[in-house]
Amino acid sequence: MPVTWTISRLGELFGVSRSTLLYYDSIGLFSPSARSEAGYRLYTEQDRCRLERIMLLRGLGVPLDRIRDFLARPDEGVTPILLQRMLAINGQVNGLKAQQMAILRMLEQDGALKGAKPRLRMLQGMGRKVGITPGNHARIHEAFEKASPEAHRRFLRYLGFSDTEIRTLIRKVVK
């Protein structure tokens, strides 16, 4: 079993600190295959491949305990932990969207978005200069609404429209 890597070289290769690799060793996630006569950790190409899998899964936000479970039973495949991670991400995204909407409602109630109306007038003036007319203006909103309804509504909120105004505009556009 030829040894090709030291802890420092692996750390540099994957952009992780020596202390991170020592921690991974302490929790049984990533241990060296050998030690030198002086007690230095030595890693094989197989170890490097294991660390590569660990770093890939960490980069996807998979918790260390789930990575350890996967590496202990690779025959079960990576699909279950990836699906679990996807569900967790979906929950985080939904939570962030709820926070975003709450912030926008608070800003709207506080009147902080009212100053955005001049931006709308400025955009309308720029639009006329580049050929946007009332006729194709509606088609632009319609395309935006169909492509990304939430982004369209956020944009309208940014411009200072209230939720009531947005609902009215969307009804006109989606007819």
Does a structural domain hold residue 154? yes
So what's the pLDDT on residue 120?
Answer: 64
pLDDT of residue 100: 83
Sign of CA dihedral 14, 83, 147, 93: negative
Residue 87 lies in a domain: no
In the chain, the percentage of residues whose pLDDT exceeds 90 is 48
Closest CA to 64 of 72, 54, 75: 54
What is this structure's pTM?
0.60
Phi-psi region of 143 (alpha: psi -120 to 50; beta: other; left: phi over 0): alpha
User: How does DSSP classify residue 35?
Assistant: E
Q: Find out whether 33 and 53 touch, Cβ atoms under 8 Å.
A: no
Give residue 115's pLDDT band: very low, low, confident or very high (50, 70, 90).
Answer: low
The pLDDT tens digits for 138-148 are 777 788 888 88
Number of domains in the chain: 2
Residue 124 confidence (pLDDT): 72
Decide if 88 is inside a domain: no
Residues 6+ apart with CB under 8 A from 69: 81
Is position 166 within any domain? yes
Establish if 24 belongs to a structural domain: yes
Q: What is the CATH number of the domain that holds 37?
A: 1.10.1660.10
pLDDT at 158 over 70: yes
What range does the domain containing 132 cover?
113-175
- Does 68 fall in a domain? no
Report which residue type is found at 8. Answer: S
- The alpha-carbon radius of gyration of the chain (Å, integer) is 27
Q: Is residue 77 part of a domain?
A: no
pLDDT at residue 167 in the model: 85
The pLDDT tens digits of the residues spanning 27-56 come to 999 999 999 899 999 999 999 999 999 999
Give the pLDDT score at 150. 85
Distance CA 58, CA 68 (A): 11
- Phi/psi for 35 (5° steps) reads -135, 145
pLDDT at 26: 96
